[in-house]
Amino acid sequence: MTPRPRIPWRKSLLVRLLLTSVAIAALSVGATAWLAVETTTRAIQEEHGQVLSDDTDILRQLSGFAATHADWNGVQTRLRELSRSKGRRIALTTETGRTIADSAATGTALPARASAIIDPLTTDTYTEPGAQLAGIDPRAAGPYRLTATERTEVKKVAQKRLTCMRRGYSDGSLQQIPSGRTLVIADSGDASVPQECADGAVNELMPTENKALDKLFPMLDPCIDGPQDPGQYQRRGVEFVPGATPSGGEIYLLFNAKPQTETCIDTARRAQLDPYVAPRAQLYLGDPGGQPAGFDLSPANKAKIIGVTVLVLAITVAMTTVVAIRLVRPLRTLTAAAQQPPQAHARVAVTTKDETGYLAAAFNDLTARREQLEAQRKAMVSDIAHELRTPLTNIRGWLEVTRDGLLDMDPDLIASLHDEALLLQHIIDDLRDLAAADAGTLKLHREPVRANELVAQVVSAHSARAENSGIRLHAHTDPGLWLHADPVRMRQALGNLVSNALRHTPADGTVTVTAWPADDLAVLSVEDTGSGIAPEDLSHVFERFWRAEKSRSRHTGGSGLGLSIVRQLVEEHGGTVTADSRPGDGAVFTLWLPRAEQPDGPTE
């Protein structure tokens, strides 16, 4: 056995796996570190944005508390809840610096400056959506806040209006403003409703609202420019209720106020609401622990990163080594088995069910097939020698007897020698066809072939032999069935089947050749009433030089190549051939071939 060459270390699968794992680990650690820094930086930026959002929300909620309470009593509880949920230190002081409420412990110094001023009558229109353009918090309802009974009554009227809208005009929804009044909002986003549903009931003011307006309108007298309309105060509606409209535009329209008088109206609004809201206060916001947020890449943190990197590399190398050894070991076993002498037919043990195990199983299958092919090759050589030896021995024997003068060269002897020569020629032609098919050099000249003509030609060629043997040879074909095939080769294949059927059919038997369409296939079958084929022999009938009669008698079998040639020719045409039989009931050989369309032009 040739000694196994030593694999250079740079080409070793084990070394390449180790180097690959180290490179992957280094890249992954570096990428992870870079991603961690980028993610941390982005997280800090997002945290700053979140802090700003939380601070805005704190301001909004505390402004809402001030808008709905006449003082700051009870704000301590709300302030501590906000501090816990937002993670911020929150403190409220008066404008003079007196502490109103603080989430931090008593005595904790306040931040250097206040973050905002809380005044629901002068609020930021962007901090609280829906705030009046004048800066009045819409939650400051004051004397306009309805009682529970009034809220229920107004909601019923609004629900009735919404039902009318949905009955066939448009859809909408109910919205409750801070005063407790329920408005009907159409799909367009405003409070307009179809004319058919505008009964005016939803715009009627409640006693609480009328009482508040009775106090507001006298305060608006200084704002009126020009002579007063005696009935202008009678046109009251929900437009005058705080929060019912995006701004105080309805009041300005009512009084035909000039722009400079809008300040007078806003002042009147604030004067009316001032007793119902908490006093102005300063809001202080800060970190609860007093430590700024940030990313500290200190020497200790650098050492941790380096340590983790080394640990990851070490673990990666160790695990890769274990996996690589387990992977390389069966490959080396396969290599050693493949280098054994061919006659040894070495196999390897299949110990796993992974890709390596599948490779080992495939190697064993390949070895088994090679062993089988080797056995078939030896049997084929023996069969060829046997098939050629018999006619050659006969020819030699007759010629030697004639040469020695023991027998005259009469016509019968010459006919016998001619038959033996034809047999040799037949065997050689069959072997040549099989060799061409195996080498892929068998040429086919395809053309449209009518199935009934093909069958008729084969039956005609074998009718004399069938008649001499006392066998009935019939044909049944579909006249419209066409094949795209080599007519010479198909006659050869079909003729081999008919010849084989006649050989195994006794006198008074029947051989039937049939052709019919099956979807996109053309089916040709040869059926006989002979002795049939044993079930254990069906899988061998298309093997070369195989015959059911092991005696290989010339009276019961041919060369053993006919059915092999049939299979090769049918497969070259893209079809398949099958055999079916039961002992004593004859045999059926079926060809399944691609079907062709009938040619357009005239056919001969």
pLDDT at residue 6 in the model: 64
- CB-CB contact of 157 with 151 (8 Å): no
Residue 556 has pLDDT above 50, yes or no: no
Please give the Cα distance from 271 to 265 (Å, whole number): 10
pLDDT at residue 393 in the model: 77
Q: What is the 3-state secondary structure (H, E, C) of 259-275?
A: HHHHHHHHHHHHHHHHH
Residue 467 has pLDDT above 70, yes or no: yes
More confident residue, 106 or 25: 106
- Using alpha carbons, list the distances in angstroms from residue 535 to 500, 560, 587: 18, 18, 11
Work out the pLDDT band at 185, boundaries 50, 70, 90: confident
More confident residue, 554 or 379: 379
Residue 57 has pLDDT above 60, yes or no: yes
Q: Which domains does the chain have, with CATH numbers?
A: 1-120+277-339 (no CATH), 142-275 (no CATH), 355-439 (1.10.287.130), 447-596 (3.30.565.10)
More confident residue, 318 or 7: 318
1-7: Cβ within 8 A, 24+ apart = 1/339, 1/340, 1/341, 2/339, 4/335, 4/336, 4/339
- CB-CB contact of 473 with 462 (8 Å): yes
pLDDT at residue 554 in the model: 46
Residue 136 has pLDDT above 90, yes or no: no
pLDDT at residue 376 in the model: 65
**Per-residue pLDDT tens for 198-210?**
677 777 888 988 8
CA 529 to chain centre: 56
Residue 133 has pLDDT above 70, yes or no: no
Alpha helix locations (H) across 404-439?
A: 411-439
Report residue 219 as tokens.
Answer: 């305060």
User: Quick one: CA dihedral 373, 376, 378, 380, positive or negative?
Assistant: negative
CA 17 to chain centre: 31
Q: List residues bridging with 473 in a β-sheet.
A: 511
Residue 299 has pLDDT above 60, yes or no: yes
Task: Give percent of the chain with pLDDT exceeding 70.
Answer: 74
More confident residue, 201 or 602: 201
Residue 261 has pLDDT above 80, yes or no: no
pLDDT at residue 358 in the model: 75
Residue 247 has pLDDT above 60, yes or no: no
Please name which of 463, 453, 448, 541 lies closest in space to residue 491, comparing C-alpha atoms. Answer: 453
Residues whose CB is less than 8 angstroms from the CB of residue 342 and which lie 6 or more positions away in sequence, other chains included: 370, 374
Q: Looking at residue 73, what DSSP letter applies?
A: T
pLDDT at residue 290 in the model: 52
pLDDT at residue 33 in the model: 73
Work out the pLDDT band at 527, boundaries 50, 70, 90: very high
Residue 67 has pLDDT above 90, yes or no: no
Average pLDDT over residues 5-15: 64
**Per-residue pLDDT tens for 321-331?**
777 777 777 77
Q: How many helices (H) and strands (E) does the chain have?
A: 12, 13
Residue 337 has pLDDT above 90, yes or no: no
Q: Is the pTM of this model over 0.75?
A: no
pLDDT at residue 231 in the model: 47
Average pLDDT over residues 372-379: 72
**Per-residue pLDDT tens for 479-509?**
889 998 888 888 888 888 898 889 889 999 9
- CB-CB contact of 161 with 193 (8 Å): yes
Range with the poorest average pLDDT among 196-210, 287-301, 359-373, 490-504: 287-301
CB-hemisphere CA count at 13 Å for 393? 6
More confident residue, 225 or 2: 225
Work out the pLDDT band at 592, boundaries 50, 70, 90: very high
Residue with the two structure tokens 């008729």? 456
Please give the Cα distance from 123 to 146 (Å, whole number): 24
Please give the Cα distance from 471 to 422 (Å, whole number): 25
Please name which of 175, 168, 203 lies closest in space to residue 189, comparing C-alpha atoms. Answer: 175
Residue 5 has pLDDT above 60, yes or no: no
Please give the Cα distance from 160 to 163 (Å, whole number): 5
Residue 132 has pLDDT above 50, yes or no: no
Query: Which of left, alpha, beta for 133 (phi over 0: left; psi -120 to 50: alpha)?
Result: alpha
pLDDT at residue 382 in the model: 66
Q: Looking at residue 279, what DSSP letter applies?
A: P
Residue 357 has pLDDT above 70, yes or no: yes
Q: Are β-strands 587-596 and 521-528 bridged in parallel, bridged antiparallel, or unpaired?
A: antiparallel
Residue 226 has pLDDT above 60, yes or no: no
Residue 512 has pLDDT above 90, yes or no: yes
Helix (H) or strand (E) holding 386: helix 355-403
More confident residue, 378 or 225: 378
Residue 553 has pLDDT above 50, yes or no: no
Mean residue pLDDT across the chain:
77
Residue with the two structure tokens 């038997």? 509
* Phi, psi of 63, rounded to the nearest 5 degrees: -65, -35
pLDDT at residue 130 in the model: 46
pLDDT at residue 591 in the model: 92
pLDDT at residue 279 in the model: 92
DSSP assignment of 157-223, as one string?
Answer: HHHHHHHHHHTTT--EEEEE-TTS-EEEEETTSSS---GGG--SGGGPPPHHHHHHHHHHHHHTGGG
Average pLDDT over residues 394-423: 77
Helix (H, G, I), strand (E, B) or coil at 20: helix
